[in-house]
């Protein structure tokens, strides 16, 4: 049985820890996410204080705006006067949108960053990343205050991020799980694009965002959104969505021009659940939602993630993580001879996207994820891939029978069996 253990610690005494246990959902995306998280648990957690709206939190509008201005000063020290705005303790959503616009144009798309981002020193890139996170923290703080003034519980949540995390494209079936009906204790995919999804454009009343920066979620990574706000009822969900669909009708012509069709699951309206908190296990057992929020409020530091059991080490994962690297280490001449970058798209519950980079000579790279500059893209089902790796079918026959489909030179396709072993 697969289990995700999410470990929090007290910021002033990291030895005191709290473990939350999650069960991955029995869906294709739930299983793929668990496998991605197995890889992610080896990475460094970024911004380990990204807990929002829990009791006793260290952030308020004054501290957030002060940190935002520190980020602006760091960025402007590299290019004087680049960001003209200042953050203030009392800020309108329009000012926040304008601040976020700077992030969008300076950071750019993940796969195609602008010259500023590519040339900026590390401290400027770090300041720009933090700048973006603080804008969203301020927005969350504002909305939580509005809820509190109406007598509603806070929309407490955590955002788990990793440094240098691989991204994987979502499958068509994954979009069917997108929802805005959030549930207490659910673990969702985090947004891993630069820009804003359609919901945020609507919610923020953002009319200055560049059209190219309206980006629904099309990728997933090991990053996650852990929800601890009150579960939403059907009536509350219907009431939440009504203004959005009214906004859609008002902007339908523009949205159509941008390629968005009403009812298309790939609009990714909402977020995708992948796991659920086990409320019968550990320190949260027997506690109410409010008591769990109070408990987490005492442990506002994300220490680590540990994945237990399950299908994380599937045969496909073992092939790419163990067998292929060992084979390439023993046969470095393959890299010199082939000298190409392969993108493998393996369909099926334990498949995923994998990169084999043979352009580095004897230092071949094999890892999960995708690249946009592959020399060849190979698509196979997990069963057909494993059959080819075992030698149960030849490369030529796999191509003839369309078990191996590819985009790129035939000579590279014919090398697939040699790479797999």
For residue 385, the domain's CATH number is 3.30.1050.10
- Of 277, 308, 339, which residue sits at a domain end? 308
Banded model confidence at residue 366, pLDDT cuts 50, 70, 90: confident
State mean pLDDT over 385-399: 91
The verdict on 97 and 181 lying in the same domain is yes
**Ramachandran region, residue 408 (left: φ > 0; alpha: ψ -120 to 50; beta: rest):** left
The verdict on 296 and 325 lying in the same domain is no
**Number of domains into which the chain is organized:** 2
- Of 257, 273, 308, which residue sits at a domain end? 308
The verdict on 288 and 319 lying in the same domain is no
State mean pLDDT over 313-334: 84
The verdict on 22 and 120 lying in the same domain is yes
pLDDT at 41 over 80: no
The verdict on 175 and 252 lying in the same domain is yes
The verdict on 82 and 217 lying in the same domain is yes
Find the length of the chain: 421
pLDDT at 310: 55
Give the domain range for residue 371: 315-420
pLDDT at 312: 43
State mean pLDDT over 351-380: 88
The verdict on 83 and 204 lying in the same domain is yes
State mean pLDDT over 25-41: 87
The verdict on 335 and 194 lying in the same domain is no
State mean pLDDT over 40-64: 89
| DSSP 8-state assignment for residue 177 | G
**Ramachandran region, residue 357 (left: φ > 0; alpha: ψ -120 to 50; beta: rest):** beta
Q: Residues of 6-44 as b/e, b for ≥16 C-beta within 10 angstroms?
A: bebbeeeeeeeebbbbbbbbebbbbbbbbbbbbbbbebe
pLDDT at 411: 95
Of 198, 194, 200, which Cα lies nearest the Cα of 97?
200
- Of 290, 308, 326, which residue sits at a domain end? 308
Query: Using an 8 Å Cβ cutoff, are 395 and 402 in contact?
Result: no
The verdict on 203 and 89 lying in the same domain is yes
How does strand 341-347 pair with strand 376-381?
parallel
pLDDT, greater one: 399 or 321: 399
Distance CA 147, CA 153 (A): 7
Distance CA 269, CA 207 (A): 18
The verdict on 127 and 229 lying in the same domain is yes
The verdict on 219 and 201 lying in the same domain is yes
pLDDT at 369: 80
User: What's the predicted TM-score (pTM) here?
Assistant: 0.72
pLDDT at 313 over 70: no
Chain mean pLDDT for the chain: 91
The verdict on 17 and 88 lying in the same domain is yes
Banded model confidence at residue 361, pLDDT cuts 50, 70, 90: confident
pLDDT at 311: 46
State mean pLDDT over 226-232: 95
């Amino acid at each position: 049985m697969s289990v995700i253990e999410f470990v929090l610690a007290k910021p002033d005494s990291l030895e005191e820890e709290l473990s939350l246990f999650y069960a991955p959902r029995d869906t294709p995306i739930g299983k793929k996410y668990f496998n991605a998280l197995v890889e992610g648990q080896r990475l460094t957690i970024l911004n380990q204080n990204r807990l929002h709206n829990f009791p006793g939190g260290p952030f308020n509008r004054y501290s957030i705006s002060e940190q935002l201005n520190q980020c602006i000063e760091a960025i402007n020290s590299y290019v004087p006067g680049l960001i003209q705005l200042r953050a203030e303790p009392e800020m309108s959503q329009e000012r926040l949108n304008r601040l976020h616009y700077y992030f969008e144009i300076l950071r750019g798309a993940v796969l195609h960053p602008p010259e500023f981002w590519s040339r900026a020193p590390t401290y400027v890139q770090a300041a720009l990343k933090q700048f973006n996170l603080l804008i969203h923290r301020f927005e969350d703080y504002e909305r939580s205050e509005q809820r509190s003034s109406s007598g509603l519980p806070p929309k407490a949540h955590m955002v788990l991020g990793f440094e240098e995390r691989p991204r994987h494209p979502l499958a068509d079936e994954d979009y069917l799980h997108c929802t805005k009906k959030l549930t207490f204790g659910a673990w969702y995919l985090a947004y891993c694009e630069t820009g804003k999804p359609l919901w945020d454009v609507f919610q923020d009343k953002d009319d200055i965002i560049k059209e190219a920066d309206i980006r629904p979620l099309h990728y997933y990574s090991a990053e996650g959104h852990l929800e601890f706000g009150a579960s939403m009822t059907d009536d509350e969900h219907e009431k939440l969505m009504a203004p959005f669909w009214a906004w859609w009708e008002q902007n339908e012509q523009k949205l159509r021009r941008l390629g968005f069709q009403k009812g298309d699951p790939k609009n990714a309206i909402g977020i995708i659940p992948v796991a659920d908190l086990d409320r019968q296990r550990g320190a949260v057992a027997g506690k109410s939602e409010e008591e769990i929020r109070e408990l987490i409020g005492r442990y506002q530091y994300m220490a680590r993630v540990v994945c237990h059991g399950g299908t994380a080490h599937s045969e496909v994962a073992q092939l790419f993580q163990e067998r292929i690297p060992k084979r390439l280490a023993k046969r470095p001449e393959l890299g010199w001879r082939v000298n190409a970058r392969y993108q493998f798209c393996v369909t099926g519950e334990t498949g995923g996207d994998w990169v084999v980079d043979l352009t580095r000579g004897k230092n071949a790279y094999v890892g999960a994820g995708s690249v946009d500059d592959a020399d060849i893209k190979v698509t196979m089902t997990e069963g057909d891939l494993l059959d080819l790796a075992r030698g149960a079918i030849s490369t030529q026959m796999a191509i003839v029978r369309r078990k191996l489909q590819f985009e790129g030179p035939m000579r590279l396709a014919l090398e697939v069996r040699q790479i797999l072993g």
